[in-house]
Amino acid sequence: MSKRIEIKDLNVYYGNFLAVEGVSMVMEPRTVTAFIGPSGCGKSTLIRTLNRMHEVIPGARVDGEVLVDGNDLYGAGVDPVKVRREVGMVFQRPNPFPTMSIRENVLAGVKLNNTRMSKSDADDLVEKSLKGANLWKEVKDRLDKPGSGISGGQQQRLCIARAIAVQPEVILMDEPCSALDPISTLAIEDLIEELKEKYTIVIVTHNMQQASRVSDKTAFFNIAGTGMPGKLIEYNDTATIFSNPSVQATEDYVSGKFG
Amino acid sequence: MTQIATRPTENYYASNRLPSYAVGILLAVAFVLSWGAFSFLRPEGAEEGVNLPLVGVVTALVFGLLQYLTSLLVEGSRRAIDRTVTLMVVLAFVLAMIPLLSLLYTVVSLGAERFDYDFFNYSMRNVVGEGGGAAHAMAGTFIMTALATLISVPVGLLTSIYLVEYGSDNRLSRSITFFVDVMTGIPSIVAGLFAYSLFSLILGPGTRVGIAGAAALSVLMIPIVVRSSEEMLRLVPNELREASYALGVPKWLTIVKVVLPTALAGITTGVMLAIARVMGETAPLLIAAGFSNNFNFNPFSDRMQSLPNFVYYSYIAQGSVPEAYLDRAWAGALTLILIVMALNLGARLITNIFAPKYGR
Q: Which residues of chain B approach chain A closer than 8 Å at the C-beta?
A: 168-169, 237, 239-250, 253-254, 257-258, 261-262, 264, 356-360
Measured in angstroms, the CA of A52 and the nearest CA of chain B are apart by 9
Give B165's DSSP letter.
Answer: I
Residue A134 has pLDDT above 90, yes or no: no
Confidence of residue B5 (pLDDT cuts 50, 70, 90): low
Instruction: Give pLDDT, residue B8.
Output: 55
Q: What is the mean pLDDT of residues A105-125?
A: 87
Q: Decide if B360 contacts A150 (C-beta within 8 A).
A: yes
Q: Starting at the edge strand that comes first in sequence, how are the strands of the sheet with A200-204 ordered?
A: A71-72, A60-68, A5-14, A17-27, A230-237, A217-223, A32-36, A200-204, A170-174, A87-90
pLDDT tens digits along A157-172: 899 899 989 888 899 9
pTM of the model: 0.81
Residue B337 has pLDDT above 90, yes or no: yes
Helix-, strand-, coil-residue percentages of chain A, each rounded to 5: 35, 25, 35
| Alpha carbons B82 and B79: distance in angstroms, whole number | 5
Give the number of other Cβ atoms within 10 Å of residue A123's Cβ. 14
Choose among A88, A106, A207: nearest CA to A162: A106
CA B41 to chain centre: 43
- B153: amino acid identity, one letter: V
Residue A145 has pLDDT above 50, yes or no: yes
E strand map for A136-258: 170-174, 200-204, 217-223, 230-237
HSE of B59, CA atoms in CB hemisphere, 13 A: 18
| Alpha carbons A238 and A241: distance in angstroms, whole number | 5
Beta bridge partners of A21: A231
Alpha helical stretches, state H, A90-143: 102-106, 108-111, 119-132, 136-139
Instruction: Give pLDDT, residue B39.
Output: 84
Contact list, B173 vs chain A (CB under 8 Å): none
Instruction: Give pLDDT, residue B358.
Output: 57
The secondary element (H helix, E strand) that includes residue B52 is: helix B52-74
Give the number of other Cβ atoms within 10 Å of residue B276's Cβ. 18
Confidence of residue B3 (pLDDT cuts 50, 70, 90): low
Instruction: Name the phi and psi angles at A63, rounded to 5.
Output: -130, 155
Q: Which residues of chain A approach chain B closer than 8 Å at the C-beta?
A: 51, 53, 56, 58, 80-86, 88-89, 91, 93, 95-99, 108-109, 111-114, 145-146, 148-150, 159, 162-163, 166
Contact list, B242 vs chain A (CB under 8 Å): 53, 56, 89, 91, 95
Does the beta-carbon distance from B357 to A91 stay under 8 Å?
A: no
- B297: amino acid identity, one letter: F
ipTM value for the complex: 0.86
Buried b (16+ CB within 10 A) or exposed e, A104-113: bbbbbbbbbb
